[in-house]
Chains A and B, each alone.
Chain A
Amino acid sequence: MLSIKNLHANIEGKEILKGINLEVKEGEVHAIMGPNGSGKSTLASVLAGRDMFTVTEGKVTYMGHNLFELSPEERASEGIFLGFQYPIEIPGVSMVNFMKTALNEQRKHKGLEPLSSSDFLKHMREKKELVELDTNLTNRSVNEGFSGGEKKRNEIFQMAMLEPKLAILDETDSGLDIDALRIVANGVNKLKSPHNASIVITHYQRLLDYIIPDYVHVLYDGKIIRSGGKELAFELEEKGYDWLKKGITV
């Protein structure tokens, strides 16, 4: 589904990603862990198409497309969803209008008719229940004045609404209370199917109790320095990252 080969990216001349290799197949869950500033969010942003980062080397194919030939909106419509580490507030744009526009634009891209208002509202009601999102939140402007946890839950709600093929969740678990964590994980698991995949960026092994990863990768200084099964997460939780850094020349 997604194949990243030797990906290098920089911002304002500063190299952040220094040769990432990663293969994600349908049905898989990949966890990416790694210390602060190692490049996890940068990787997620590059995959979603943020143009502040410049790709200098490497190749990314997604569902047979050269990813870099697609605009962010095309990537989204082709099924890539980025759950933002820091969701953006958009005063004056209502959640309903935002989601309706997003959903219908994605449908348009696929050659489908826009959803009728009643179908849209029904769809929204279902997904709101799935992630136990407070009804009031959808009546407000996008993320405006949402608490940290509400913003994260709203990311999962959007994911549920848009039903992506590849979900990249950047620290969606940070700032969530235990109940919210369970709900978020539940949301992710409900979307899981043999045809889609997720990349879950997290600092905490805790999330991986709920979302069981097939692979765990450690990103350090712009490179994946270790990959393993879910037991790698436990090892990291226990020992930190230092033992992995040894032997790496920085």
Chain B
Amino acid sequence: MSTEIVNTDIKIKLLDLFQENLSVIKNDSPDYINKIREKAIELFSKLGFPDKKNENYKYTDVKKEFDNGYKTYLSPKNIKFEIKDIFSCDVPDLNTKVILLLNGWFYDRENLLQELPGGAIIGSLQKAMEVYPELVERHFAKYADMEKEGLVALNTAFVKDGIFLYVPKGVVIEKPIQVINVLMDEEEGFTSHRNLYILEENSQASVVVCDHTLSAVNFLTNSVAEFFVGQNAHFDYSRIQNEHNGSKQISHLFFHQEKDSKVTNNTISLHGGVIRNNISVLLNGEGCENNTYGLYLTDKGQHIDNYIFIDHAKPNCISNQLFKGVLDDFATGAFNGKILVRKDAQKTQAYQANNNILLTDDADIKTRPQLEIYADDVKCSHGATVGQLDENAMFYMRARGIPKKEAKLLLMYAFAHEVIQKIKVPALKDRINDLVEKRLRGELSRCNSCQMHCCNT
């Protein structure tokens, strides 16, 4: 399905695309989804794209990124490749279950839903909508707020496929699940996968998501993931964003945490032309813990924008945000961290830190903490720094014989280390350590298939 590049507003174009392909879009989706779809397209029509007047999008013009005549993926495309060929050595010691999404579609069409030990289910969201309607209906579009955000409404209107994970009550999945989002096509493409993770009470799981581009054309992604983390459930979610620099990625994560649940979320951004990450957390019960961490290493003309919103709705919860970034060349970025402590959320502890190193005068980052506190018995802190590499430390190392380049690397690596250290799965931590070191050395390939390259060398 392709759109002509005519001089109409991209919003109108997308609305038209929706109407013209209504039957394809609605086909295969149950009614309850199509009802939500109708509401979503209405909302998108009303809200449109956030523009630069929107405080939350001040530093990233997302609309511009859509206006590129991307082809959309209204049905899965058959591209055959062996997952082993590409990722065989990528995560060598990480004993994981590997799941692949190709251009937003669950790849293994023969095996759309798989059962894991204990009755957990992993697979295609589209299939799950059909097979587990009550479960999906109970959670789908309940946490991703499309009333406020046109991009979420857009994703919901076009929703087709993505990851579905269900972990029933009390079930602990020991092995991390690895999700690989692959973008691969001959033509420029727009994907908008939708993901739903349901962790019932006392369950545990950890998921690693890797975003990759395997062909050199430009891609745009507008993805949404919803996470329901039930009472006393523990969930680890790490992402490695490593698309080529011709790709634009907008992601929206919505975490809904119930009483005594614990979520740790790491976002490691290595490559990608424009990256906008929205992470929204609702602490909806007492005793929750949320850790939202991020590391971004950018150079050339990359742009990274992290927007975090932590909603302390209930008392006695703790949240930690730590985002660190190194920006080289003329890379630009923004960090916006909002903490809302509602009136009843007494004994809240909420911490936020954003530290940045700019390696050149042309690199730039805007960092903005926002605290809205309506409870009186709280402990909150926030701190943001933008600095250069420590000259004294550089000289100290050089005076011991360490060349400038190596000294710089050691310092950058030391800076990044604090975030990497927070990654829980040891094998993943080692892997990310490696990737980060390669990235800092400039050895991580910038072309379309970095992983294949590191495998071959």
Contacts and interface: CB of A to CB of B under 8 A. Distances in A.
Given A88-B392, A88-B393, A73 B398 contact: yes
A73 B414 contact: no
Instruction: Give the interface residue-count category, chain B.
Output: 20 to 34
Contacts of B143: none
Interface in A81-140: 81-82, 84, 87-93, 97-99, 101-103, 105-106, 109
A72 B414 contact: no
Interface in B402-419: 402-404, 406-407, 410-411, 413-415, 417-418
A56 interface: no
| Chief secondary structure at chain B's binding surface | helix
A245 interface: no
B32 interface: no
Contact of B401 (A77, A90, A92): A77
A90 B394 CA distance: 9
Contacts of A142: 396
B395 interface: yes
B417 A92 contact: yes
Contact of A105 (B395, B403, B415): B403
Contacts of B411: 90, 92-93
A73 B392 contact: no
Instruction: Give the interface residue-count category, chain A.
Output: 20 to 34
B399 A76 contact: yes
A73 B418 contact: no
B440 to A, nearest CB: 13
Nearest to A159: B400
Contact of A162 (B400, B417, B418): B400
A51 to B, nearest CB: 8
Contact of A90 (B396, B399, B403, B404): B396
Contacts of A84: 396, 399
B355 to A, nearest CB: 12
Contacts of A81: 399
Contact of B414 (A50, A75, A92): A92
B399 A82 contact: yes
A48 interface: yes
B397 interface: yes
A102 B418 CA distance: 23
Contacts of B410: 90, 93, 97-98, 101
Contact of A106 (B390, B393, B401): B401
A90 B414 contact: yes
A49 interface: yes
A108 B154 CA distance: 57
Contacts of B397: 90, 93, 98, 101-102
13 contacts: A72-B395, A73-B398, A84-B396, A87-B396, A89-B393, A90-B390, A90-B410, A92-B418, A93-B414, A98-B410, A103-B401, A105-B403, A141-B414
> Which 6 A/B pairs are nearest by Cβ-Cβ distance?
A92-B414, A76-B401, A102-B400, A72-B398, A88-B396, A106-B401
Given A93-B410, A102-B401, 6 more contacts: A73-B407, A75-B399, A88-B396, A90-B411, A102-B400, A105-B401
